[in-house]
Amino acid sequence: MINHWKIECLHSPEMIDRIMVPIRKRGMGVLSLHYEQIYGGRAICHMKFEAEQIEAEKIYKNMLRILDIEHVLDVAQQAG
């Protein structure tokens, strides 16, 4: 299953690494990653990765625990 998430976060030089930790921890990789710094020290990251629903839910919960991540939105789920 392809997952497409939009992640809103505070920008820092380490943020991409923090976003990738829950994926790498499971020995997985991403299909695409687009990170863009926007206004006021904030950033938006669009990420696509392949994972079964159970794994995606675990990754989602881990993302929410990361200090500077404010929102994680499942873009594919919202569009459908």
Instruction: List pLDDT tens digits, range 15-28.
Output: 999 999 999 999 99
Three-class secondary structure of residue 39 per DSSP: coil
**CA–CA dist 67, 63 (Å, integer):** 9
pLDDT digits (tens, 9 = 90+) for 58-80: 999 999 999 999 999 999 754 44
pLDDT (0 to 100) of residue 77: 57
Do residues 41 and 10 make contact, with C-beta atoms less than 8 angstroms apart? yes
pLDDT (0 to 100) of residue 80: 42
Ramachandran region, residue 4 (left: φ > 0; alpha: ψ -120 to 50; beta: rest): beta
Domains and CATH numbers, the chain: 2-79 (3.30.70.260)
Neighbours of 76 (CB within 10 A): 13
